[in-house]
């Protein structure tokens, strides 16, 4: 108990003292966002480092985060409208981000957002490949689950977790899409269930 009290009194301050300026900025903004104020330990560390200068940097960082959120939202809207990358940059300006940083951020966000949209798309090709993945994944999952049960000499529910992972990796390889895609998620779930059923039926047939 005494150790906990000591940690509560001195632990946070010692942690804050070891923070880099970037880490302290993040902690400061998180405290303000969550509670609307900073604690005494943070205040003492800021007084040691120079509060006014830090406060200005913290406000700037918060403004940059907010600005990037605004820009990302605009990029997403333009992508939804079918605007190409080369036409997006002239449409977006910023009074906070330098030109080079703005250009890089637009390119980065464009790649991420278009990739996410493509990954989430459920088209005819994705459905076809997901069905193929369902059969192949079931086969791979069944083999894995059977080997695992024979090795452990036991049937354990936790084996469904690595079986799910095996099925998912197979289906991801076939479709080229992640489980955030609805078709891939459903195929992976069904492949895991079917793998367990196949192993159960094999076990039942051996008993009979």
- Same domain for 98 and 198, yes or no, is no
Burial 63-83 (b: 16+ CB within 10 A, else e): eeeebbeebbebbbebbeeee
- Residue ending a domain, among 120, 143, 167, is 120
Tens digit of pLDDT for each residue in 127-152?
999 999 999 999 999 999 999 988 88
pTM: 0.64
Segment 122-126 mean pLDDT: 92
Task: Give the Cα-Cα-Cα angle 169, 111, 178 (nearest 5 degrees).
Answer: 15
CA distances (Å), origin 20, targets 15, 34, 41, 170: 10, 21, 16, 42
Q: How confident is the model at residue 3 (pLDDT cuts 50, 70, 90)?
A: very low
- The number of distinct structural domains making up the chain is 2
Residue 12, pLDDT score: 57
Residue 207, pLDDT score: 62
Distance between CA atoms of 172 and 89, rounded to whole angstroms? 33
- Residue ending a domain, among 66, 94, 120, is 120
More confident of the two residues 9 and 194: 194
Tens digit of pLDDT for each residue in 29-84?
777 677 666 667 776 777 676 666 777 777 788 888 899 999 999 999 999 898 88
- Same domain for 89 and 101, yes or no, is yes
Assess whether pLDDT exceeds 90 at residue 177. yes
Residue 9, pLDDT score: 45
8-state DSSP, 180 = T
Average pLDDT across the chain, whole number: 83
Residue 14, pLDDT score: 60
Residue with token string 């200068």: 53
Residue 160, pLDDT score: 92
- Same domain for 115 and 135, yes or no, is no
- Same domain for 166 and 85, yes or no, is no
Residue 60, pLDDT score: 81
Segment 99-105 mean pLDDT: 92
Assess whether pLDDT exceeds 60 at residue 8. no
């Amino acid at each position: 108990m005494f150790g906990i009290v000591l940690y509560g009194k001195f632990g946070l301050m010692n942690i804050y003292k070891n923070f880099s300026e970037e880490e302290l900025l993040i902690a400061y903004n998180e405290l303000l966002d969550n509670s609307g104020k900073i604690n005494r330990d943070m205040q003492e560390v800021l007084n040691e480092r120079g509060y006014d200068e830090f406060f200005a940097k913290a406000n700037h960082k918060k403004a940059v985060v907010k600005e990037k959120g605004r820009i990302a939202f605009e990029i997403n809207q333009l992508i939804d409208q079918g605007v190409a990358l080369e036409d997006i940059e002239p449409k977006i300006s910023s009074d906070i981000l330098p030109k080079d940083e703005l250009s890089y951020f637009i390119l980065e966000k464009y790649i991420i957002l278009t990739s996410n949209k493509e990954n989430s798309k459920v088209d005819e090709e994705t459905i076809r490949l997901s069905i193929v993945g369902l059969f192949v994944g079931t086969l791979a999952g069944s083999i894995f689950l059977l080997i695992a049960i024979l090795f452990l000499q036991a049937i354990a529910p936790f084996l469904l977790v690595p079986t799910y992972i095996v099925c998912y990796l197979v289906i991801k390889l076939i479709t080229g899409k992640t489980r955030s895609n609805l078709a891939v998620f459903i195929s992976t779930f069904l492949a895991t269930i079917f793998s367990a059923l196949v192993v159960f039926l094999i076990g039942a047939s051996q008993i009979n």
